[in-house]
Amino acid sequence: MATKKKTTKKKSTKKVSRVKAVKKTYKKIRKTPIKTKSLKIAKPKKVRATKRKIILVLTRLIFFAGLSLVSFVLYLLMSNTMLKNLFSLLAMIFGFVSVGLLIVLLIFLILKALRK
């Protein structure tokens, strides 16, 4: 009679060691405390109305007011509805930007007057 030898299969040690390594790193990560960032409170800066800032705002105000007027004139002259809608939209956008710059200019002028 033929006797069968029992073959024993060796367990793969690579898989076991890899699983153990992953568990160890997970435990390390879990044990490390979470660092919280400290919130820095911003200190308010003084806004100064310098001559350079006033000139810059004034030039941009004139530029955007001019673009708004040009867009409005082109809106009145165009007969095509698509171009008419485009120039009306551009006139409104440039008009709002120029109004915002006018408000900034007035604030700078008031700050300059209060400083004296």
One-letter amino acid identity for 55? I
- pTM, to two decimals: 0.59
- Eight-state DSSP code of residue 14: H
- Eight-state DSSP code of residue 41: P
pLDDT band at 71 (very low <50, low <70, confident <90, very high): very high
Q: What is the dihedral of CA 80, 85, 87, 88, to 10 degrees?
A: 130
Q: What is the tens place of the pLDDT at every residue in 16-37?
A: 566 666 666 666 666 656 666 6
